[in-house]
Amino acid sequence: MITRIDHIGIACRDLDASIEFYKTTYGFEVVHSEVNEEQGVREAMLRINGTDDGGASYLQLLEPTREDSTIAKYLAKHGEGVHHIAFGTPDVVATTEEATRTGVRVLYPAPRRGTSNSSINFLHPKDCHGVLTELVQAADAATPSSANSH
């Protein structure tokens, strides 16, 4: 079950300059930043607003930390801009299974660690009208089916 737009991922070459742009232009503040070695990115989450389910919507700015990362390859091919849209879910495993039952392919056989220890998976853009789609379960939203997948 999808509960909200969790975030929109934006590929950038200079994380600090991108943060400054969104702070100056829109007043967005960084609420979390980290380096995700597994994915080869340095990232920042900028809060946009709260949502009805108690969560929030964010912009996720992604700067590659190495040339073989997905974001580095994306930047080389497409340049800076929207990389993906992420939907929040209380159970990433169940939501992934629902999508695969409709014929949508997933990128990972099991969820991986995302920002702030969330559980994530991606739906193939060729099956989602050209949009790379991420499913995100917050770390504090563990359910029995997802707890067994970590």
Active site residues: 7, 43, 60, 84, 134
Say which residue the tokens 């495993």 belong to: 93
For the residues of 55-92, what is the DSSP string, one character each?
-EEEEEEEEESSTTSHHHHHHHHH-SEEEEEEEE-S-H
Tokens 């975030």: give the residue: 7
Q: What are residue 65's phi and psi, to 5 degrees?
A: -105, -10
Largest CA distance in the chain: 44
- What is the DSSP secondary structure assignment for residue 100, as one 8-state letter? H
CB 49 within 8 A of CB 56: yes
